[in-house]
C-alpha cells in the first residue's frame, strides 16, 4: 500500500499521508497568507500552486505566545491552513465535522489534535482549520472595516472551502457539522448569528462554551480577573481599545490619521503585537459580519435554526482554580473565602456562603471551584441550552467522570471532570493522559454519539442508551459507569443561582 495519497483540489494537488486505518492531509491553504498589507483584512482567495503540495507535516500555528496551559509559540502570520482526516476505506457522501480548537482566544492549533478516533467512530471526514487569534483575530481600530471579526471571517472562509472541496475527500457538503470546544464553542455561537455563516454548516456541537450569555463575577473564571461581561464587544468600544493600546505601546505616531496609524500598525513586528493579545479575544458586533450582539440575538431567537448539541464538564472550574490559584502558590483558604465571595457577589455573598458552606466540602478550594463551576459555567450553559431548545431540536450533555486523569496534575487538589478533560476521551494529542479501558470505552461511545449527530442531526445511536432532547428537560450524563439522565439543575443549584447576580 502506498504511504501517500494525492487529492486534486481546485487550487492544486496535495499529497497526504496514508496510515493503516485513515488518511491525513496537513497544512492545506484555504486562504491567502494574511501578512503585510493583508494584516487585519478579510481572508483573500488562495493563489493556486502548480506542483503537488506536500501535506504530510503539520503547518505553523497561528501567532501566539506560550502560556501556562499551552506550550506553543509561533510568530508566523502565514497560518490560514487546515487539516483533513479521512477514513482509509473508499467512500463518498460522508458527513463532515469541522472542528474549531480552544485555547482562550490567544492559543491553540489544529495540529494539536489527532482526529483519527472521531473520524473512524462514525465514518466521517474531519476538517480542522487554523485561524487568526488574539490581537490578529479580534483587533479593532478606527479605519478598520469589521474589526474584531478576522478570526471569525477566517473560519467562514474555511467553511466555504469545505463547500467547494470536501467532495474530493469523500465528504458531503450538505452534511457539515461545526463543532468546537471552549473558545471554539464560543465562536460557534457567533456563527449561529452571523449572516455570512448561513448555509455553511447544518448542525453544531458546542463543548464547554464560556460566557456566550451572561456576565461573569470577579474571580470566577480566573482568580484575580475582574468581573467580565459576555464575550462580545461593540465595534466602537473595540476601536477605542485598539487605539488606546496602539498609543500606549508607541506603535503609532501621535496625531496620525486612522489610515496612517493602520499603515504603521501593519509594520509592527508580530512579537510586539502579541504582548497585547489577551486584551483582544472578544468578537466585535456592529458591522456586516456580526450586525448585532450574539447574546441578544440568541435570546431573541434570531439565529440559524439547525440541530444543536451542547454541554459542559461536571467540574469545569477546577482547571482554573487549580492552575491559577493552587498551582500558582495562592491557594483558596478558609481565611480568603469570605473575601472572594464578597468581591464576586457583593450583597449576595452571605447567601452564597450559606449555600456553599465550607463544612460541606473537603477543602475551601473545592468549595470555591464548585461555586465557579455552577455560576460561571452551568448557569449560562443551561440558559443557552434552553434558549436553543425553544426554537430548534437541541441535546444537552454533561461529561461527569470525576476520575478523569488530570491534564495538569495539581498537588493536593482533585481535578475531577475539569474543563477540557473530555478531549482526551475523544481525541489523541501530545501529552494526553492515559485512560483506563473503561474510560476509553466511554470516549468511543461519545464519539459514536457525536458522529451520529453529524450524520443525522440526532445523537440517537444503535447500541447506546437513548438520549432524549433538551425539550423534555433531559440532560445526558456521560461516565464510564453510567450513561443516562442526570438532574443538572439540582446538581448545580440552578434554582439558587437564578436569584443571584
Q: Assess if residue 14 is contained within a domain.
A: yes
pLDDT tens per residue across span 236-289 = 999 999 999 999 999 999 999 999 999 999 999 999 999 999 999 999 999 999
Mean pLDDT of 42-48: 97
Beta-carbon contacts of 264 under 8 Å, excluding residues fewer than 6 positions away, are: 251, 252, 253, 256
Q: At what angle do helices 235-249 and 258-265 cross, to 10 degrees?
A: 60
Q: Say whether pLDDT at 314 is over 90.
A: yes
Q: What is the CATH number of the domain that holds 446?
A: 3.40.50.1820
In 429-495, at which residue ranges do the beta strands (DSSP E only) sit?
Answer: 476-478, 483-485
215 included as an active-site residue: no
For residues 353 and 463, give the distance between their C-alpha atoms in angstroms, rounded to a whole number. 44
In a domain, 351, yes or no: no
Whether 88 contacts 49, CB under 8 Å: no
Residue with cell 440552578: 494
Task: Judge whether 220 lies within some domain.
Answer: no
- Assess if residue 191 is contained within a domain: yes
Compute the mean pLDDT over every residue in the chain, rounded to the nearest whole number.
96
Residue 335 in domain: no
Share of the chain above pLDDT 70, in %: 100
Contact present, 251 and 265 (Cβ < 8 Å) = yes
- CA dihedral over 395, 401, 407, 413, signed as positive or negative: positive
Residue 137 has pLDDT above 90, yes or no: yes
Confidence of residue 307 (pLDDT cuts 50, 70, 90): very high
Mean pLDDT (whole number) for 103-120: 95
Residue 26 domain-assigned?
yes
How confident is the model over 182-217, as pLDDT tens digits?
999 999 999 999 999 999 999 999 999 999 998 999
Whole-number pLDDT of residue 1 = 38
| Rounded Cα–Cα distance for residues 254 and 244 (Å) | 11
The per-residue pLDDT for 67 is: 85
**159-163, 210-214, 390-394: the lowest-pLDDT one:** 210-214
Torsion of CA 8, 10, 13, 17, to 10 degrees: -70
Query: Would residue 257 count as lying in a domain?
Result: no
At residue 451, the 3 state secondary structure works out as helix
Rounded CA gap, 137 and 440, in Å? 36
Could you list the residue range(s) of the whole structural domain that residue 428 is in? 4-214+229-235+280-314+376-497
Find out whether 96 and 119 touch, Cβ atoms under 8 Å: no
Q: What is the pLDDT of residue 69?
A: 76
pLDDT for 222 beyond 70: yes
Q: Which of 321, 423, 343 is nearest to 103 (CA)?
A: 423
pLDDT tens-digit readout, 53-108: 999 999 999 999 998 777 889 999 999 999 999 999 999 999 999 999 999 999 99
Judge whether residue 218 has pLDDT over 70.
yes
The answer to the question of residue 243 being in a domain is no
Q: Is 389 helix (H, G, I), strand (E, B) or coil?
A: helix
Q: Which of 138, 171, 141 is nearest to 153 (CA)?
A: 138
Name the pairing type of β-strands 483-485 and 476-478.
antiparallel
Q: Alpha carbon 430 to chain centroid distance?
A: 18
From the candidates 74, 182, 325, 421, which is the catalytic residue? 182
* Domain count within the chain: 1
DSSP at 373: I
**Alpha carbon 104 to chain centroid distance?**
8
The pLDDT assigned to 2 comes to 56
Where in 247-318 does DSSP place strands (E)?
Answer: 284-285, 308-313
Mean pLDDT of 371-394: 98
Predicted TM-score (pTM) above 0.85 = yes
Amino acid at each position: 500500500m502506498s504511504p501517500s495519497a494525492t487529492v486534486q483540489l481546485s487550487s492544486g494537488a496535495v499529497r497526504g499521508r496514508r496510515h493503516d486505518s485513515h488518511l491525513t492531509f496537513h497544512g492545506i491553504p484555504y486562504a491567502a497568507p494574511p501578512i503585510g498589507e493583508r494584516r487585519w483584512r478579510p481572508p483573500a482567495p488562495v493563489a493556486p500552486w502548480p506542483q503537488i503540495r506536500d501535506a504530510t507535516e503539520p503547518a505553523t500555528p497561528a501567532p501566539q505566545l506560550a502560556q501556562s496551559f499551552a506550550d506553543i509559540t509561533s510568530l508566523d502570520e502565514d497560518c490560514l491552513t487546515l487539516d483533513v482526516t479521512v477514513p482509509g476505506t473508499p467512500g463518498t457522501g460522508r458527513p463532515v465535522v469541522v472542528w474549531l480548537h480552544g485555547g482562550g482566544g490567544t492559543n491553540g492549533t489544529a495540529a494539536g489534535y489527532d482526529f483519527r478516533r472521531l473520524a473512524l467512530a462514525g465514518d466521517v471526514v474531519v476538517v480542522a482549520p487554523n485561524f487568526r487569534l488574539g490581537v490578529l483575530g479580534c483587533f479593532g481600530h478606527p479605519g478598520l472595516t469589521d474589526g474584531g471579526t478576522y478570526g471569525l471571517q477566517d473560519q467562514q472562509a474555511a467553511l466555504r472551502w469545505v463547500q467547494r472541496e470536501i467532495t474530493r475527500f469523500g465528504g458531503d457538503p450538505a452534511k457539515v457539522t461545526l463543532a468546537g470546544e471552549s473558545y471554539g464553542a464560543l465562536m460557534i455561537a457567533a456563527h449561529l448569528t452571523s449572516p455570512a455563516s448561513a448555509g455553511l454548516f447544518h448542525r453544531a456541537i458546542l463543548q464547554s462554551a464560556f460566557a456566550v450569555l451572561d456576565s461573569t463575577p470577579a474571580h470566577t473564571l480566573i482568580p484575580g480577573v475582574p468581573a467580565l461581561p459576555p464575550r462580545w464587544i461593540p465595534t466602537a468600544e473595540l476601536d477605542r481599545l485598539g487605539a488606546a493600546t496602539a498609543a500606549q505601546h508607541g506603535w503609532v505616531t501621535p496625531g496620525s490619521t486612522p489610515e496612517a496609524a493602520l499603515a504603521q500598525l501593519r509594520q509592527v513586528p508580530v512579537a510586539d503585537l502579541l504582548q497585547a493579545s489577551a486584551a483582544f479575544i472578544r468578537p466585535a458586533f456592529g458591522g456586516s459580519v456580526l450586525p448585532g450582539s450574539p447574546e441578544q440575538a440568541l435570546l431573541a431567537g434570531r439565529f440559524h435554526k439547525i440541530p444543536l448539541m451542547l454541554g459542559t464538564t461536571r467540574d469545569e472550574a477546577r482547571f482554573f482554580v487549580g492552575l491559577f490559584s493552587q498551582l500558582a502558590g495562592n491557594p483558596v483558604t478558609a481565611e480568603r473565602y469570605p473575601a472572594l465571595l464578597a468581591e464576586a457577589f457583593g450583597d449576595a455573598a452571605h447567601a452564597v456562603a450559606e449555600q456553599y458552606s465550607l463544612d460541606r466540602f473537603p477543602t475551601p478550594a473545592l468549595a470555591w471551584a464548585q461555586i465557579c463551576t455552577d455560576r460561571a459555567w452551568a448557569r449560562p450553559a443551561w440558559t443557552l441550552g434552553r434558549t436553543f431548545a425553544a426554537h430548534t431540536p437541541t441535546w444537552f450533555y454533561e461529561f461527569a467522570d470525576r476520575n478523569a486523569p488530570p491534564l495538569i496534575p495539581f498537588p493536593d487538589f482533585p481535578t475531577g471532570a475539569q474543563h477540557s478533560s473530555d478531549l482526551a476521551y475523544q481525541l489523541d494529542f501530545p501529552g494526553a493522559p492515559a485512560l483506563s479501558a473503561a474510560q476509553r470505552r466511554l470516549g468511543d461511545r461519545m464519539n459514536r454519539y457525536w458522529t451520529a449527530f453529524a450524520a443525522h442531526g440526532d445523537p440517537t445511536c444503535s447500541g447506546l442508551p437513548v438520549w432524549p432532547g433538551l425539550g423534555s428537560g433531559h440532560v445526558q450524563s456521560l461516565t464510564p459507569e453510567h450513561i443516562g439522565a442526570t438532574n443538572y439543575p439540582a446538581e448545580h443549584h440552578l434554582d439558587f443561582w437564578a436569584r443571584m447576580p
